[in-house]
Amino acid sequence: MKVLLADENSHRAGALARLLEAEATLDVILVEDDTSLIDAVRRHAPDIVLVDISRADRDALDSVRALSASGLERPVALFVDEDDESLMEDAFAAGVCSYNVLDAPVTNVKPLLRAAIALYRRFRNTNAELEAARKTLSERETIDRAKFLFMKQERCKEDEAYRWFRKQAMQQARKIIDVATDYLAHQNRNPKQ
Amino acid sequence: MITTCRIGLLQLADSAPVLVARSMGIFSRHGLDVEAVVVPSWANIADGLVWNGLDGALMFPPLAIMTALGQRGRAIGLRPGFPVSRGGNTIVLRGQKVDHTEWTAQADKHRAFENWKNTLGRKPRLGVVHLYSTHYLILSRFLKNLSVCRDTETEIVIMPPARMIQALAAGEIDGFCAGPPWGADAHLKGLAFIVAGSASLAPGHLEKMLVLKEIWKSQNPDGPARMHAALTEAIALCHDPAHAQDITHLLSRPLDANGLGLPEEAVKAVMPGSRAMADTMMFGGQNGQTGAACGWMIEDMQNEGWLPAPMLETLRTLGWYDC
């Protein structure tokens, strides 16, 4: 069975390909960069297409059935499992969906879709962790910059500067990062000579 | 109590009322916490509604109808929504207006189309934003008026509106029918010239509605009324030329700064009150219109063979069709 993977995130596409290739009956193909989804389907004639739902060109696959000009001999359509709504909800929440060739022999798509959901979730979690780490880093940087500016302006030591920001934050019931951001913005607008 | 609502929309200038209501605090004044979810394509709007990603969406009636009927996933019984905008779609063709004066001068538009087609050296590839769109129906009417056979003499290519300009520049398509401001943008960038639009093919037609899921309505019994009140205020602001400049700025802001990342000059040209184009946007519905306003669309959709008799019955029950 030929499976086409359409995902512009090459790391994720590669990981999903490796996962699926463990199954010997699957022939896995990746959509090349700069190739539209519909051209890739035309060229490779897959049985199943697993698509990253944020790919803007998947609308084209939606319309294949109705458009005679699509040039596809084998019509494809969004895979929908009406009996397993949670599978469908999980798939869209994870960011992946499947298009199936309508005249292909009936195959069990669900294990494939489940594998894709698991992998997409794992990538989403890793990304969220990365994003959180990045945010902590940039917050740290902002607080440091505000602190050093304060030290320069007020001719004080680092621990004194930090205490000032902490006190402001407590008094205003805000986070230190917000106080630091405001302080930097204020200093930028009204630089002391 | 604050009611939350996730509304899906695309990078289009007629999404303005939702953005305005959000950024000016109109939603929160009405007790609503609205998340504007900008999605990359119309398929994501339909899937979001069907599989619980969204509570509502700004969308055109044909896609709402086909989604309601389960032609994209399971049937979810969407009812007609709150009218948000009318018109504003334009059809553009590759080239410069000065080289194609026959479009304005010549009464024989079929001839004009043939002459234009000959400059391409291939079957014209025309972009449309989705099959189940007002744009597809309008473009079909346009071609029919010119006695051009859509299915044999042109090739219809489906792509999201925000992709059209790039596709035109790259030679993937030779023209398109899309919502505001993309037609104006193609014209201003010198990529294409405007030949027709909503105003000439279906004047004042209903374009975007705010469709809310029935389950959201039942969970939030006073939600729809508050939503309508907030949008009515935002629509009045959007329709008033005095606010055009501020709204243009808002829509041109980058996506990560709560804007829609739209080209500023093009948005300016399509705002209500602008004299730059025939197809400027209109916000709000006409009095008492919902079902009847979709009449021409349902008729055209029937002619396309999309709505067999049992489906029409369902549409009637859902309130889309009153005859």
* pLDDT value for A66: 61
| Closest Cα in chain B, distance from residue A36 (Å) | 10
Using one digit for the tens of pLDDT, what is the confidence trace for A20-52? 998 888 999 999 888 888 889 888 989 999 999
Average pLDDT over residues B102-127: 86
Using one digit for the tens of pLDDT, what is the confidence trace for A69-94? 556 667 788 888 888 889 999 999 99
What is the third-level CATH fold of B3-86+206-318?
A: D-Maltodextrin-Binding Protein; domain 2 (3.40.190)
Cβ–Cβ of A92/B53 closer than 8 Å?
yes
Cβ–Cβ of B40/A54 closer than 8 Å?
yes
Strand partners, A78: A99
Cβ–Cβ of A59/B42 closer than 8 Å?
yes
Single out the residue of B248, B300, B296, B278 nearest to residue B89, CA to CA: B278
Structural element, H or E, at residue B149 = none
- Whole-angstrom distance between the N-terminal and C-terminal Cα of chain A? 72
Q: At what angle do helices B309-318 and B61-68 cross, to 10 degrees?
A: 110
Greater pLDDT, A66 or B110: B110
Cβ–Cβ of A58/B41 closer than 8 Å?
yes
* Of A54-58, B127-131, B195-199, B288-292, minimum mean pLDDT range: B288-292
Residue A179 has which token pair? 């106080």
What is the identity of the amino acid at B40?
P
Q: Residue A26 — φ and ψ, nearest 5°?
A: -100, 135
**Residue B321's pLDDT band (boundaries 50, 70, 90)?**
confident
The span from the CA of B312 to the CA of A51, in Å, is 32
For an interface test with A, which of B10, B38, B44, B143 has the most A Cβ atoms less than 10 Å from its Cβ? B44
Q: Using the 8-state DSSP alphabet, how is residue B264 labeled?
A: H
Residue B44 has which token pair? 């994501």
Residue B252 has which token pair? 């041109």
Whether B90-201 and B3-86+206-318 are alike in CATH topology: the answer is: yes
Residues of B in contact with A92 (CB under 8 A): 47-48, 51-53
Hey, where are the domains in chain B? 3-86+206-318, 90-201
* pLDDT value for B92: 96
**Residue A121's pLDDT band (boundaries 50, 70, 90)?**
very high
| Cβ-based burial of B25 (10 A; exposed 0-12, middle 13-18, buried ≥19) | exposed
Q: Checking DSSP bridges between strand B282-283 and strand B85-86, what pairing results, if any?
A: antiparallel
A193 has pLDDT over 60: no
Average pLDDT over residues B56-84: 92
The span from the CA of B74 to the CA of B51, in Å, is 9
Single out the residue of B186, B200, B194 nearest to residue B142, CA to CA: B200
Cβ–Cβ of B72/A63 closer than 8 Å?
no
The span from the CA of A10 to the CA of A65, in Å, is 29
Q: Residue A94 — φ and ψ, nearest 5°?
A: -75, -25
Question: ipTM of the predicted structure?
Answer: 0.80
Choices 3.40.190.10, 3.40.50.1100, 2.60.40.10, 3.20.20.300: CATH for B90-201: 3.40.190.10
* pLDDT value for A173: 83
Cβ–Cβ of A59/B159 closer than 8 Å?
yes
Cβ–Cβ of B47/A69 closer than 8 Å?
no
Q: Checking DSSP bridges between strand A27-30 and strand A2-6, what pairing results, if any?
A: parallel
A84 touches chain B (CB under 8 A): no
For A122, residues 6+ apart whose C-beta sits below 8 A from its C-beta are none
What is the identity of the amino acid at B62?
P
**Residue B291's pLDDT band (boundaries 50, 70, 90)?**
very low
B100 touches chain A (CB under 8 A): no
CATH number 3.40.190 is the correct assignment for the domain at A2-127 = yes
Hey, where are the domains in chain A? 2-127, 133-189
Q: How many residues does chain B have?
A: 323
In this complex, the residue of A57, A60, A80 whose CB is nearest that of residue B74 is: A80
Its CATH class, for the domain covering A133-189, is mainly alpha
A160 has pLDDT over 90: yes
In this complex, the residue of A58, A67, A68 whose CB is nearest that of residue B43 is: A58
